[in-house]
Amino acid sequence: MSPPDNRTAICPGTFDPITYGHLDVIGRASAMFDLVIIGVVNHPWRKGQTLFTAEERVRFVEKATSDLENITVEPFSTLLVEFARERSAMAIVKGLRAISDFEYELEMNQLNRKQAPDIESVYLMASAKYSFLRSSGVKELATFGGDIDELVPGEVAKALKERLRR
């Protein structure tokens, strides 16, 4: 296995669905690293069953990031640090919205550092206009017919409305 490349980062998530908040963090990470690999969690441990399949989520992320030349999108089903090592990434980039995110990410950072001390965690604070935005909140809005058009890309909004039609 090759040593970490300090110009490659992993930006992991379930992306069920991808939101403009995710895209904000991905775009900012894209400006910081030469290559950002968007790791789409295939089978999320913490969040249970996903609304969209891994293939659908990868397709949504690929389409939403198609304007960024240094982005690749891959599903993964291993430990995050293993995925990062396999891709020779030196950093894991995540967004933080609130104290609750910080508490969870602090724990994950400590566990990841124990497994892979050579891979750094980089946290980007959510932009103010996306600090409230969660995929689960978007799904709830869509379930009850709320307006989600300014929260997710158009293709995702359409798919959510179709999938969650009550």
- What are the boundaries of each domain within the chain? 5-126
The CATH classification of domain 5-126, taken from the options 3.40.47.10, 3.40.50.1980, 3.40.50.620, 1.10.357.20: 3.40.50.620
Contact 14, 50 (CB under 8 A): yes
Helical residues (DSSP H) of 4-163, grouped into ranges? 20-32, 54-64, 80-86, 99-115, 135-143, 154-163
Q: Pick from 148, 117, 142, 127: which is nearest to 26 by CA?
A: 127
Which of 11-15, 47-51, 79-83, 130-134 is predicted with the least confidence, judged by mean pLDDT? 47-51
Contact 93, 71 (CB under 8 A): no
- pLDDT band for position 2 (50/70/90)? low
Q: Count how many residues are written for the chain.
A: 166
Token pair 């969660």 in the structure block, residue: 134
Q: Whole-structure pTM over 0.85, yes or no?
A: yes
Residue 148 has what pLDDT? 96
Q: Pick from 153, 151, 154: which is nearest to 136 by CA?
A: 151
Residue 104 has what pLDDT? 87
pLDDT in tens, 42-61: 976 666 789 999 999 999 99
Residue 165 has what pLDDT? 76
Strand partners, 36: 9, 71
Please state the rounded mean pLDDT for residues 6-29: 96
Residue 94 has what pLDDT? 96
Q: Pick from 147, 146, 143: which is nearest to 162 by CA?
A: 143
Q: What percent of the chain has pLDDT over 90?
A: 83
**CB proximity list for 64: less than 8 A, separation 6 or greater:** 18, 23, 153, 155, 156
**75 or 166, greater pLDDT:** 75
Number of H helices, E strands in the chain: 6, 5
3-class secondary structure, 144: coil
Q: What is the mean pLDDT of the chain?
A: 92
